Amino acid sequence: MLLTELNRGKCKTYLVACEEARVAALIDPLRDHLERYLAVLAYRRLELVAAIDTHTHADHRTGCFDLKALTGAPVVMHRAAPAPRVDRHVDDGDTLALGTLALRFLATPGHTPDGMCVLADGHVFTGDTLLIRGTGRADFPGGDAGAQYDSIVGKLFALPDDTVVLPAHDYRGNTRSTIGEERRANPRLAGKSRAEYVVLMRNLGLPLPDKIQEVLQPNQSALDDDALKYPSLAQLNEVRQLAPRGRWAALRAGAAAPLLLDVREPEEFHGELGHVPGSVLVPLKELARRTDELAAHKERLVVAVCRAGVRSTTAAAILTSMGFEHASNMKGGMLAWTDQGLPIER
């Protein structure tokens, strides 16, 4: 296995390659360093066969979709990733062949719902789940400190002690650690219960990354459109969340049935997850210029739907800002809908 970190900075991107087969994967690539990655691949005569994000990033634009456009390499993310145009969604225990190597994926939600780690030949790429002598923050939208503790203690700390830990970030000049070292010496985890960890993470008081919305929203939607004005975090937090079952289902069956507005891309609407029967497709990137088509429904409950309930939260906030006073989001999106065995159409 050929393994090297390419950024030499606080944000880490790892090149993992099979030297025998001359094929490679990039883990957590940054959009700002595409030329560097392509140059290294060319210099080493490696074919890029996978661009992998361990989670939806909030502090830098992902390079995965640009790498796909430039090289044809498929984008790989966890099943819960909200972005469209992901070529392969993986879940806990799935593997990816890389020449003679095998990458194995561990679902590790907490920092984000779609967080995962990647195992390869005695190394674990931990994304923002587990850092060297730290952990990724859990206060972004969808973050869950309790789930993060379970992911680290239940899955990562179950790995062999000598497993090398390679995180997506480091702010102290560290380059690698091991699972055994982190289990013994990580100050956020060593000797702490789940409840203690949750309290600790709740009180970190960290500032939000600069321009978080300009980074997070394009990463979530895979849209690069300056004309699309994303709502603020405060606006997103005000969006009502309706579960696929319960109140939403009751409303759908009653006289005041809502307008179901699916804001995914057409290939998703007709794809693997299908769509809710009776829903109307208006992709997120077209929503702002097509609100006139929806004007007759301003007094009606409008429920936005997407893959994981993330893009649709953005859509509901945009609609609210345009005078749709009863815009809501279907929590969990089509993933939650299909997981509950509810009917779909394709």
Domain borders along the chain are: 2-202, 225-339
Token readout for 246 is 């319960």
Q: What is the pLDDT of residue 69?
A: 96
Overall CATH class of domain 2-202: alpha beta
Which H/E stretch holds residue 26? strand 23-27
CB-based contacts of 251, cutoff 8 Å, min separation 6: 242, 257, 258, 301
Among 299, 311, 333, smallest CA distance to 263 is for 311
**pLDDT tens digit sequence for 105-123:** 999 999 999 999 999 999 9
- Helix (H/G/I), strand (E/B), else coil: 36: helix
**pLDDT tens digit sequence for 212-226:** 888 888 888 887 766
Nearest 10 degrees: Cα torsion 231, 203, 58, 309: -60
Question: Which one is predicted more confidently, 305 or 235?
Answer: 305
Q: What is the pLDDT of residue 209?
A: 80
Q: What percent of the chain has pLDDT over 70?
A: 96
Q: Give the Cα separation of 148 and 128 in Å (integer).
A: 10
**pLDDT tens digit sequence for 278-300:** 999 999 989 988 888 898 888 88
Query: What angle do helix axes 34-43 and 64-71 make, rounded to 10 degrees?
Result: 50
Whether residue 251 has pLDDT greater than 60: no
DSSP secondary structure, 241-266, as one string: EE-SSTHHHHHHHSTTPPEEEE-S-H
Query: What angle do helix axes 212-221 and 311-321 make, rounded to 10 degrees?
Result: 120
Q: What is the pLDDT of residue 266?
A: 95
H-type helices in 74-159, by residue range? 145-154
The neighbouring-strand residues paired with 17 are 2, 24
Q: Do 160 and 118 meet the contact criterion of CB atoms below 8 Å apart? A: no
Residue 271 CB burial class (10 angstroms; 0-12, 13-18, ≥19): middle
Q: What is the pLDDT of residue 244?
A: 85
Q: Give the Cα separation of 123 and 203 in Å (integer).
A: 31
CB-based contacts of 257, cutoff 8 Å, min separation 6: 251
Token readout for 332 is 């969990």
> Which residue type does 216 have?
L
Q: What is the pLDDT of residue 225?
A: 66
Whether residue 246 has pLDDT greater than 60: no
Q: What is the pLDDT of residue 248?
A: 54
Q: What is the pLDDT of residue 189?
A: 97
Among 286, 296, 291, 236, smallest CA distance to 265 is for 286
Whether residue 48 has pLDDT greater than 80: yes
**225-339: CATH architecture:** 3-Layer(aba) Sandwich (3.40)
